[in-house]
A and B are shown apart, each in its own frame.
Chain A
């Protein structure tokens, strides 16, 4: 597609519920990133994929967070047993090797 597509745009989850956030990167982009943006803050790195390989997951805040990109294109960020502190905008970005990032519009997660 023309840009990075994320779904859903908004998600309200009850505390303890599992959620799955989807990212469709730009076709052909090798690199894919997930960032978390708390209200009023800059995005914070979560994890990085090169094709299907997850090369860095150092930013994932706990073992409740899990990301995958099984075929090297679409990626899913899963959060198990959501907590209120997980409320944030989750941004996906993709890039070609050595190229600039293109961000999606994000998924706003609210845990109630």
Chain B
């Protein structure tokens, strides 16, 4: 499943499929980007980050892609599991700043 285009508020994906969550960021000066996962009743939890000198970074079952030309960020989740159901936020920051700026978030629902 994929949230096509800049951003969709919800994404429904079949268990075992790959998920792609997209995010458009606003500040061309941002040089550090983070994906967070937020489950109901909990705070945002770090998933993966990427700096602007990279265009791809891989973690365990997750990959983040950064396209600075169009100010676009994506999170790919491989073999999506029921525990991946949550709201996913991208956040941007500039190195000498401290304020995270969050996008609106995408709600991912995994179908069994």
Contacts and interface: CB of A to CB of B under 8 A. Distances in A.
Interface of A: 4, 31, 33, 35, 40-45, 48, 56, 59, 91, 93, 100-106
A41 B44 CA distance: 12
**At the interface, is chain B mostly helix, strand, loop or mixed?**
loop
A102 to B, nearest CB: 8
Contacts of A40: 104-105
26 contacts: A4-B43, A33-B98, A33-B100, A35-B100, A40-B104, A40-B105, A42-B89, A42-B91, A42-B102, A42-B103, A42-B104, A43-B44, A43-B89, A43-B102, A44-B102, A45-B99, A45-B100, A45-B101, A48-B99, A56-B99, A91-B43, A91-B44, A100-B46, A100-B49, A105-B43, A106-B42
B11 to A, nearest CB: 15
Nearest to B45: A103
A23 to B, nearest CB: 11
B5 interface: no
Contact of A103 (B43, B49, B99, B105): B43
B45 A41 contact: no
Given A40-B104, A48-B98, A106-B43, 14 more contacts: A4-B43, A40-B105, A41-B104, A42-B91, A43-B44, A43-B102, A44-B102, A45-B99, A48-B99, A91-B43, A100-B34, A100-B49, A104-B43, A106-B42
